[in-house]
Amino acid sequence: MTIGIRTKLIALLTLVALLPLVACLLVIVVGGRSLRRDTFAQGMLAVALSEGSVLRVSLGMDIEKIDIAMQSPSVLDMLSARDKPMPFEQVELIDSSWPGLDESDPRVQAVLKNPIADLLQVIRVENLRLAELLVADRFGYLVAATGKTSDFYQADEKWWFSTHAKGRLRGLVAPVSFDESAGVWSVYVSIPIRKDGKFVGVVKAVLDVSRWIGEGTRTVRDLDASVMLIRGDGKIIYGPDVKPMERKISQFEGRIVNPSGKGWRVTSDGRIQAFVPVVLPPTIGGLEIHTPFWKLIVEIPESKAMAGVYKLSMWVLLVGLCLIGLIFLVGLVLVERSIIRRIRLMEIATHNVAHGDLSHRIDVGWAGKRLLGEDEIDDLASDFNRMVEQVQHSHLELQDANALRTTFIRIAGHELRTPVSFILATARLLKENCDPGRLAKAVRAMGEKAERLNEIIQAMFKLMPERGSAESLQYEDVDMTELLEEVYTDCKPFVDERGQRLIIDSGEERIMMRGDRAKLADIIENLMMNAIKFTPDGGRIDIGISRELGEYVAVSVRDQGPGIPPEDQARIFEPFYGGGDVMKHSTGRVGYLKRGAGLGLTIVRYFAQLHGGTVRLSSGPDGSTFTVTLPLSPQPQQEHQGRHEAAPGPHEAEHAGPEDG
């Protein structure tokens, strides 16, 4: 049973009309949820990136400001003056008694009341994030501080040793820890103090984490999201309602573990988390900075972020139901007018072409009359018209090819049958004749006919389209002047037979080119033989060779023949075309106005094209001149890969070429 396209399209449209409702439900339940989650998560990531940048910038500025302040002349002079270490026993005594000393003790006052200590107090007042600052000299002795520290000797502290780094001198940002002197969870920064490139001391700044990070929440799309800082092992350094270093963040895996990883995720317990690294640049103010691995996390419960989606889903459902009915009605009209009607027109056109009407075309003017403009059906109609045009063109070419084949058969039958018949007849006569003289004469005649037969067959093979040796150019360096002389030597017996003069003008310069020597010889020989045949007995033939602009060589052959009629010049290169009735040509080698099979000039043009050259013709009542122009050097793809062109067809003739083949 055949079902019409109208029925199929209407049935399909009816089915598709139900899909928008399902699609709306999917958008509500899945698409809307995913879109809201993705959008919200991207907003959280933007907040996290901003907060992470603020933390990096603020910490970097604190380091840079402290480093600059420590370059004060008073600081450098005071530290430079401390150039001798204290006795070990004295240092050990002070350090052991330091925790029990009162701030009023002169030794403590010497640390709290000096120019460097005053400068540290100014820095602390200006930056409330700093809970404590202290300075130790090159030997690790405490020089100045903003408050009484827990010990006096600092060289045995890890931060002092890491900052000095055995003379390497680098800045250190230590992991978060509880500072006993300041009594806060802190990040301490230690920076080497240098004078004229020499190490004179270390400054340590204790940064209060709570003041550095600030409040534990951030606003993301009018919702409060929690902010946490975690270290490299996943432990929470800072977060709302979380005691530092007591809990590890859940699902510490994937990109969040990567020190440079940033992005967002949804955890298995239903939380949307955006995470970014907090890493200082490797150098600040020309000083190498060593920092730990931190991640800033902004998180919010997924249910809190998705609350508004469900209210939106009801409105989408109501609007979708209304749109389905409208789309169905509009779709019926569009299917009928924009699809079915045009397909029927194409069906009619296909039917007519299938029954032989190759002139039928589809009117593609319908596209401009429709509101929606062109679409794939219009492209299909245009392609159909082009296809029919190509079929029609191929049909005409096939007719021409059939005509060429018929011509070939007629000429081959005429041209090949004559020498074959002669050879057969002579062979039968030789059976009955024993006269040596007549036998010798007959053998010579048979040889001439066989040679003629071989020439015709060889000419045909040169134009065979099977891509044989005719299209495989064997490139070599060719002396064109020498090649011209060789061809002249081969043709001289025919010139002498006709009593003609063959004049070669090769100039004083020898011309070298890259080409196929055998095919170049075929070009010159065919042109010479044509000139010999169409020049009267005793006439003159001029052959010239010269360079042309653009690295080309030109070979010209001029005869004194009757010229080529204008109506024949356009077809002179076609295979088997010899002018006039193809069956009225005459066989022979060099007899005056002898016409061959019509292949010689086709070979000339074909071999010239294989070399990337051209053939020109100038003809008049006093004779014809044929000029072959060839490049001295082939293109790289010609020499290394060969040029594979189709053999010349009946419609490929140029308005240039010799008189006959």
**For 389-402, what is each residue's pLDDT tens digit?**
888 888 787 776 67
Answer yes or no: are the C-beta atoms of 189 and 197 closer than 8 Å: no
Q: What is the pTM of this model?
A: 0.47
Is the residue at 201 inside a domain? yes
Is the residue at 86 inside a domain? yes
Boundary residue ending a domain (417, 435, 462)? 462
Boundary residue ending a domain (462, 481, 513)? 462
Same domain, 222 and 265: yes
Is the residue at 349 inside a domain? no
Same domain, 61 and 210: yes
pLDDT of amino acid 451: 67
pLDDT of amino acid 5: 74
Is the residue at 635 inside a domain? yes
Same domain, 168 and 281: yes
pLDDT of amino acid 555: 92
pLDDT of amino acid 648: 42
The DSSP result for 13-37, as a single string, is HHHHHHHHHHHHHHIIIIIHHHHHH
Beta strands in 378-527 (DSSP E): 475-479, 501-505, 512-516
pLDDT of amino acid 661: 45
Q: Which of helix, strand or coil describes residue 371?
A: coil
pLDDT of amino acid 428: 66
pLDDT of amino acid 656: 34
Answer yes or no: are the C-beta atoms of 257 and 238 closer than 8 Å: no
How many residues does this entry show for the chain?
A: 661
Q: Domain containing 109 — which CATH number?
A: 3.30.450.20
Same domain, 601 and 516: yes
Is the residue at 649 inside a domain? no
Q: Which domain holds residue 635?
A: 468-641
Q: With a cut of 50, which residues of the chain have pLDDT below it?
A: 368, 464-470, 580-588, 641-661
Give how many domains the chain has, as a whole number: 3
The CA-based angle 423-425-430, given to 5 degrees, is 90
Same domain, 198 and 314: yes
Backbone φ, ψ for residue 147 (5° rounding):
-160, 165
> What number of helices (H) and strands (E) belong to the chain?
18, 21
* Placement of tokens 């003008």 in the chain: 505
Boundary residue ending a domain (408, 436, 462)? 462
Is the residue at 1 inside a domain? no
The Cα 547–Cα 486 span in angstroms is 20
Same domain, 25 and 165: yes
Same domain, 519 and 445: no
Same domain, 417 and 535: no
Is the residue at 353 inside a domain? no
Same domain, 542 and 436: no
Sorted by sequence, the CB contacts under 8 Å of residue 34 that are 6+ apart come out as: none
Same domain, 191 and 301: yes
Q: Domain containing 556 — which CATH number?
A: 3.30.565.10
The DSSP result for 559-613, as a single string, is --S----HHHHTTTTSTT--SS-GGG----SS-TT---SS-HHHHHHHHHHHTT-
Same domain, 397 and 271: no
Same domain, 204 and 266: yes
